[in-house]
Amino acid sequence: MRTAAYIHIPFCEHICHYCDFNKVFLKNQPVDEYIQALLHEMHMTINEAKPDQLKTIYVGGGTPTALTAAQLRTLFAEMHSILPMEQIEEFTVEVNPDSSEEEKLAVMKEFGVNRLSIGVQSFDQSLLDAIGRTHSSDSVHDAVKRSREAGFDNLSLDLMFGLPHQSVEQFIDTIEKAAELGVEHLSAYSLKIEEKTVFFNRQRKGKLSLPPEEDEVTMYEELRKRTKAHGFVQYEISNFAKPGRESKHNLVYWNNDEYYGFGAGAHGYVNGVRHQNIGPVPKYIEAVNQKKLPYLNEHKVSRVEQIEEAMFMGLRKLNGVDLDELSKRYDKDLNKLYHDQIKDLSERGLLVSEQGMLKLTNEGLLLANEVFEQFLAVLED
C-alpha cells in the first residue's frame, strides 16, 4: 500500500556544517527547470505505478522555502493535477526560519499544506554560528508567529544535541525555549558525523571537539524528562508530540510501508523495490528530459530484508512491534525465528514484551543501535 510521497527540493541559500543530504547552493541553479523535471517525474511514476489514495506528503530538502512564492505556487498547483491528493491528511513542508515569508506561507496554506517543520537546531546563537546556521533565536520566534497568523495549527521544531562544545545546560535551555513556543511537535536528533560534510573534514583533521558520551546521554535523558513535563508524548526514539499530533508521514517509514520518492537524490520504495534517484541536479533534469525515470540504482527487497527492516524500524516506535501481526504480514513466525535474540535482549533489560508488543526499555532506548544489530544477518533467504 502506497499512501505517502516524499518530494525533495535540493536548493539551499547556505550549507550547514553537519548536513549530508543532497543539496546545492541556490545561486545560479536551474530552479524553474528543476521544478518542471520534478513534476514530470511525478507524472511518469504515477503512470507506471498507480498509487493508492495519498494520505501524507512531505516536502523536504535542502530548503523548500528557498523557492520563491511563485515557484512554490507552480509546484503545488501542478502537484494537485498529477497526484491523487483529495484525501490528504498531512501535508508537511520544511521551513527555514530565515525564509518563512508571509507570501510563501500564504501559498502553502492555499494549496493544502497543513503542517510545517521548522529547522531550529538550537536557541544558542554561539552554537548556531558554530554549525553554520544563519538564523537567530529571534527569527525562530518570528517564524512561529507568522505561521500561526497564516493559519497553521500544526508546527514541529527540529532540534539537535551532541553539537561541538555544546553543554548539557545549553541543550536544556533549547528544550525549554522550544516548549515555550507552544508548538505541537518536537524532533531532536543527536549529531552524527557524516562523510562529505564540513564537520567530517574537521574531525578527520582533529579539529572537532564533541561533548563526552556521558553528556550526550544526559542530554537525551533531559530531553525525555522535560518534553514529558511540557505535555509531549514520546512516540519514537527522537520524536515527541502533543497527543494526536504524531507525524503520520514519518510513521510510514517506521511501519516499513511503501512510499514515493520524487526529486534529485530522493529515495523511494515502490512495488517491493527501493530506489535512489540521481543526485546532481543537471543530471537529474537531463534524465527526466529523456523521458526516463531518473533512477541511480534499484534494489528488489527480499523477504528477509523486509522482515529485518520491519524489526529495526518498528522498534524505533515507543509502542514497539506486534510480532504476531508481522508474522502474518510476512508469513513467518518471528517469535520463533528471533526467539534467541529476544530472550537475550530481554534478559539484558533492553527489550520488554507488554500486551503483545515487543518494545525497547528505557535502557534499550540508550542502546538502540546495539539492539537493532541483533536482528540483522540472522535469518536465511
d(CA 221, CA 56): 31
Residues 91 and 210 in one domain: yes
Residue 189 is predicted with a pLDDT of 94
Residues 244 and 309 in one domain: no
On the question of pLDDT at 349 being above 70, the answer is yes
CA 175 to chain centre: 19
Residue 255 is predicted with a pLDDT of 95
Residues 249 and 307 in one domain: no
Per the domain annotation, does 337 fall within a domain? yes
Per the domain annotation, does 272 fall within a domain? no
CATH of the domain at 321: 1.10.10.920
Residues 54 and 187 in one domain: yes
Please state whether beta strands 185-190 and 155-161 pair in parallel, antiparallel, or not at all (unpaired). parallel
d(CA 15, CA 61): 11
Residues 249 and 308 in one domain: no
Average pLDDT rounded to a whole number, residues 341-356:
95
Residues 245 and 328 in one domain: no
Residues 183 and 59 in one domain: yes
Per the domain annotation, does 261 fall within a domain? no
Per the domain annotation, does 259 fall within a domain? no
> Is 83 within 8 Å of 42 (Cβ atoms)?
yes
Pick from 184, 38, 42, 189: nearest CA to 115: 184
Q: Give the residues across from 258 on adjacent strands.
A: 2
Residues 208 and 318 in one domain: no
| pLDDT tens profile 264-290 | 999 999 999 999 999 999 999 999 999
CATH of the domain at 145: 3.80.30.20
The sheet carrying 115-121 orders its strands as 233-236, 239-241, 185-190, 155-161, 115-121, 90-95, 56-61, 2-9, 258-262, 267-270, 273-277, 295-300
Per the domain annotation, does 276 fall within a domain? no
Per the domain annotation, does 280 fall within a domain? no
d(CA 198, CA 323): 42
Mean pLDDT score across all residues of the chain: 93
The C-alpha cell of 285 is what? 533534469
Percent share of the chain, pLDDT over 90: 82
Per the domain annotation, does 67 fall within a domain? yes
The C-alpha cell of 214 is what? 556521558
Answer with the one of 253, 274, 292 that is the final residue of a domain.
253
Residues 225 and 338 in one domain: no
Average pLDDT rounded to a whole number, residues 226-234:
98
> Is 91 within 8 Å of 115 (Cβ atoms)?
yes
Residue 260 is predicted with a pLDDT of 97
Residues 245 and 338 in one domain: no
Residues 212 and 309 in one domain: no
Q: Which domain holds residue 367?
A: 303-373
Report the domain count for the chain.
Answer: 2
Per the domain annotation, does 206 fall within a domain? yes
Is the Cα dihedral 241, 245, 249, 252 positive or negative? positive
* Cα Rg of the chain, angstroms: 21
Q: Give the residues across from 377 on adjacent strands.
A: none
Residue 12 is predicted with a pLDDT of 84
Question: pTM of the full predicted structure?
Answer: 0.95
Residues 67 and 179 in one domain: yes
